[in-house]
Each structure stands twice: as structure tokens, then as C-alpha cells.
Structure 1
């Protein structure tokens, strides 16, 4: 693919995550299904994980150390609106607008950490992050107004859903994940991790998005609840 074409694909990928557009569901993939492999991960790098448990409408994964480049927290009432600005910053970053003038390969997912805040109009805080490719993780390029997040190994409770992410769906999906975990040892571990100020205590939940705008079926999005456990 020509360089211009690749750049257009990268930009289109990011813009698709902003649209909150048609929320058409793949008829073979309903909310709460688990274990669907994101099609984009056949083409671009995604973080590796170990499947620990598959439950009713959720799964538990263990991720090794990962590295992310992240925006500053953005205050807004809308995930879609807040991430619009954030994604343009991340697109500039992978196109070489960083201190190394380094172009970086596209990866998936792009994640948005969501934290309720005390601001007016029920605002939330959104931190949007790009998964840094493994070859760049030993020395990720710094950039103005962005920061590096180096995640220690962690467990993540995951719920998958299809369609295009919108403000009307993410809260419902996050609530459904919490409901499906009720009464399990995983729910106890998630709550303990938050109370201890550990993994997952800095956000209510995380939205992970995998697909390009040209994929209208088989779309895979996820709600994440990271937490710690004593191995």
C-alpha cells in the first residue's frame, strides 16, 4: 500500500472511533458474547493475553506488561466528543509528531479510560491511549501533551459488544459487565483493587475499540475492568 494510502487508512481508523455512527449489530454477534477474536488483530499488532476464565457474558484475561501513549485527561459530558480531539493528537503522534520524529505502526485497541468527575453537567474525565508496538516499547517516543503509561501485569474483566461505540451504549455495557460479575470472586478482587488504590482505581471502566470504519459486521468493542490479584 502506498504511503499516502496507509496514512489515509490510519486516519480513517481513528475517525471511525469518533463517529458514534450507525450502531448496527452483527446478527451473529450480540452483546455479552465472549471470545470473539477482533479481525483487526489479524492485520495489526494487539497486546497478548492469557485467557483465565470464561463466564456468563464476561471473560477474565491476564495481560503481561504493556506500554501505552496517552493524552491528558479531557473533561466532557460525551466520550465521543472528548475523544475526537484526543484521536487527532494520537494520529499526529504515530505520523511522526514526537520527539524522535518517528513514524509508528498502527496497533489495536485504542482505549479510553472513563472516570466520573465532580465537574458541571455530570462531566467525566477521559484519557485516550494508543498501544505502543512491542518494538517501540523499550524506548517509546515522548511527545508534547502526551505521556507514557507503563502497565504492570494485570487481570482484566472483559465484556464484548458490536456496532459503533456511542455515548448511549458504553454506560449500558459497563453496567452489564458489572452485573454479570456480581457474586463472583472476580467482583471481590475488582472492588479490593479499587479500595487499595491499585490497578483499576484510577477509572470507572475502560472502552477498547479495535476496528476500521470499513468493517460493518464482526465489529468488536470491549469494556475493561482492570484489577490485581495475588498470583
Structure 2
């Protein structure tokens, strides 16, 4: 029984991790306009997303679970949807007004979006799109701690200014790895829309 209890979770984790490590998971396509080290300016077409409310960057589990339920069939079409990357997060304080609270989003696969993405049945969840835009990005490693996020935000803001770009709206974060990925191998990015 003990061996079974160990083997089953291990097999499940491996089944999810192996495709991710082999880059089999779909990511939204983009055109690279400029790249300098960990900084990159990209041009994205519309990015279809499903979103769930999030009460601050430190309270992500409920939002992730609701989105995972959505792609597992908790939608009006009872449709299972492949996992994609990255997971997108826009911060917001837990005590902020509803309109200013954060949100977590999964990217909807292109084929699903083209056919018409099913509507989520979870409370407060929505489907929509990040409109076509130029996005300045900065890749950073390590855990997604508040300290690391703040440092990355500040570094990206400096690079945006140095490249004579004008930010639009607030920055947000893109996380590409499952939680069990070792710190040294993690791929995190901070994104900032900029004027075209």
C-alpha cells in the first residue's frame, strides 16, 4: 500500500512534468522585435485567456484551482482543454476594491479559441483576450517571492526607459513552470505593455 501511495503521485507528476520539460506545452506565438540579454521586446497578436479573480499575489491557490477545474471540464461545454504556458498574474491587494483586485489567467490554446472557447462555470471567472500589443519582457530566475518580483519590475522599468519605450498600464507576471521545478531552472518573466 505504501509503495502504491508513492508510485501513483510520482506517475502523475511525471506525466505532467515530462511534456513541460520537453517544451510540448503551447505558448502564445510572438515576433521578437529586440533582444538584449534577459530583456526582450515582443509583438503579440491577441492572446485568448480564461481568468479568475485573485486576492493578491500571495493568495494564488484558489485562483489556480478554479482555472484548473475550468480546463478539466468545469465549463458550459464540459470540454477538457490542454494546459498551456505561461500562467499570467496581475497583482492586487486583498483589501483592494473589486475593480482593482488581481487576477490569474490561463492562455487558451489557439485551436480551442478559434473554435470558440467554452464559458467557465466558476464564480467570477471570465474568458477574453489580451489585445494585440507590444510587450517588453524581462526573464528572471528563482522563486516568485515579493522581493524577486519587485526587483524584476524595477529592472524592467529601467530598461524600458533606456530603450525610449512608453509603458501602458501596469506590469504583470508570466510563470512558465510547475511548482516543483527547481529554483535554478525556473523561468519567470515580468511583462509590460508599451506603446507601439
**TM-score normalised by structure 1 residue count:** 0.69
Number of residue equivalences: 181
SS across alignment from 1:137: helix
TM superposition shift of 1:175: 1.1
**1:80 pairs with 2:80:** no
Map Cα deviations across residues 75-128 of structure 1 (whole Å, 9 max, x no partner).
33xx132x11100101111111111101110110000012569849xxx73110
2-structure distance, mates of 1:211, 1:151? 21
Q: Retained in 1: the 8 A contact 2:55–2:92?
A: no
**1:113 pairs with 2:90:** yes
Map Cα deviations across residues 1-35 of structure 1 (whole Å, 9 max, x no partner).
xxx8799449x88xxxxxxxxxxxxxxxxxxxxxx
RCO higher in structure (CA 8 A, sep ≥6): 1
2-structure distance, mates of 1:101, 1:6? 28
Distance 1:60 1:6, change over 3 A: farther
Aligned to 2:142, which of 133, 144, 163?
Answer: 163
Q: Retained in 2: the 8 A contact 1:40–1:108?
A: no
Distance 1:146 1:43, change over 3 A: same
2-structure distance, mates of 1:80, 1:117? 9
2-structure distance, mates of 1:84, 1:59? 29
**1:49 pairs with 2:49:** no
Aligned to 1:225: 192
**1:206 pairs with 2:172:** yes
TM superposition shift of 1:184: 2.5
Gaps of 5+ in 2: 1-7
Distance 1:181 1:49, change over 3 A: same
Cα root mean square deviation, aligned: 2.9
Gaps of 5+ in 1: 14-38, 195-200
